[in-house]
């Protein structure tokens, strides 16, 4: 059988890959993709803990469902922001979005 540690190490790796994407990508949509990878890693972690240790309770499942919903809300609003900025300024590169710089 698969030990819990495999799932944990895998989701850590996926989280770190996503983190690299968030930190290193220039394109704002690329950054959002990195966030999606991180959220997936978190979800996998939650579901693994639920499945191995706490399957009698429903907390884990509800948490996973809420993470799904939050992720989709985040993507919807985030992409809408990017498109809105793109429409005004014609840029999608996060480094160049400097309107609010003091």
Partner 1 sequence: MLNDWLYIGIFAGISIFLPAAAITIAGILGPRKPDLLKNSIYECGIETVGTTWVQFKAQYYVYTLVFLIFDVETILLYPWAVAYHQMLLFGVIEGVIFILILLGGLLYTWRKGALEWV
Partner 2 sequence: MAVIQIVFILVAVVTIISAGMVVSVRSMVHAALWLVLALLGVAALFALLQVRFFPVVQVLVYIGAIATLIIVAVMLTRQVMQDVGSQLNSNWWLAAFVSVTLFIGMVWALSNWPGMMTTTRAVPPGGEDIVAFGKALTDPAGFVIPFEVASVLLLGALIGAIFLATERKEKQG
Interacting residues with partner 1 (CB under 8 A)? 65, 68-69, 72-73, 75-76, 79-80, 83, 87
Restricted to residues 28-57, the positions that interact with partner 2 (CB under 8 A) are: 29-30, 32-34, 36-37, 40, 43-44, 47-48, 50-56
Instruction: Output the smallest distance, CB 35 to partner 2, in A.
Output: 11
Query: Do 18 and 36 contact (CB within 8 A), yes or no?
Result: yes
Q: How far, in Å, CA of 8 to CA of 10, rounded? A: 5
* Structure-token pair, residue 74: 């985040």
43 binding partner (options partner 1, partner 2, none; Cβ < 5 to 8 Å by kind): partner 2
């Amino acid at each position: 059988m698969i030990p819990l540690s495999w799932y944990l190490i895998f989701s850590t790796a996926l989280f770190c890959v996503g983190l690299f994407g968030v930190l290193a990508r220039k394109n704002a949509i690329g950054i959002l993709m990195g966030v999606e990878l991180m959220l997936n890693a978190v979800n996998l972690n939650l579901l693994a803990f639920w499945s191995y240790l706490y399957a009698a309770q429903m907390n884990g499942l509800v948490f996973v469902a809420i993470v799904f919903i939050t992720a989709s809300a985040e993507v919807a609003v985030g992409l809408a922001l990017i498109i809105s900025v793109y429409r005004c300024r014609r840029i999608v590169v996060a480094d160049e979005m400097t309107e609010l710089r003091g």
